């Protein structure tokens, strides 16, 4: 079993600016980060509620052609100590890896699937070279 800590939920959105306005103006969340992600040809925005610990990540993908209601849950994210070791262990248990480990910013990420096809991000620090 991989030692993993649940850290946030990512949902797919059709219009990132519209969704940011909804969550900030209607639900009082604060935009804490926004950036383009080259690996997914998309853009993300992270929001938090004042006093809350959970992060909501809004995900917009330029290549996504169609959205079907119910597809909005994009992925769940878990922090792990070592992404590469976690992926190796999960593969040995028959878990499907949908994106092999890669570096993004100062972190290292990979994506696996649950039995129903929901993507799960494994996030950790970049490995130190040396």
**Paired sense of beta strands 107-113 and 73-79, if any:** unpaired
Q: Are 19 and 47 in contact (CB under 8 A)?
A: no
Q: What is the pLDDT along the chain (130 residues), one digit of tens a residue?
A: 899 999 999 998 889 999 999 999 998 999 999 999 888 899 999 999 998 888 999 999 998 877 776 667 778 899 999 999 999 999 999 999 999 999 988 899 999 988 778 889 999 999 776 5
Considering the entire predicted model, what is its pTM? Answer: 0.73
CB 4 within 8 A of CB 86: yes
Selected catalytic residue, list 25, 89, 121, 127: 121
Residue 129's pLDDT is 60
81 tagged catalytic: no
**Residue 70, pLDDT score:** 66
Q: Which of 34, 31, 102, 45 is nearest to 74 (CA)?
A: 45
Candidates 92, 89, 78; CA nearest to 124 is 78
Residues 59 and 2: their CA atoms lie apart, in Å, by 26
Q: Express each pLDDT in 24-44 by its tens digit.
A: 999 899 999 999 988 889 999
Structural domains of the chain ordered from first start: 5-125 (3.10.180.10)
């Amino acid at each position: 079993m991989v030692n993993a800590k649940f850290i946030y939920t990512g949902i797919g959105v059709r219009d990132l600016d519209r969704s940011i306005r909804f969550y900030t103006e209607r639900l009082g969340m604060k935009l804490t980060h926004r950036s383009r992600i080259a690996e997914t040809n998309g853009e993300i925005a992270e929001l938090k509620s004042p006093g809350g610990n959970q992060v909501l990540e809004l995900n917009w993908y330029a290549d996504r052609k169609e959205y079907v209601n119910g597809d909005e849950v994009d992925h769940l994210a878990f922090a792990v100590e070592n992404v590469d070791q976690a992926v190796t262990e999960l593969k040995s248990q028959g878990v499907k890896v949908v994106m092999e480990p890669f570096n993004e910013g100062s972190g290292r990420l990979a994506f696996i699937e649950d039995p129903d096809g929901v993507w799960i991000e494994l996030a950790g620090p970049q490995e130190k070279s040396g």
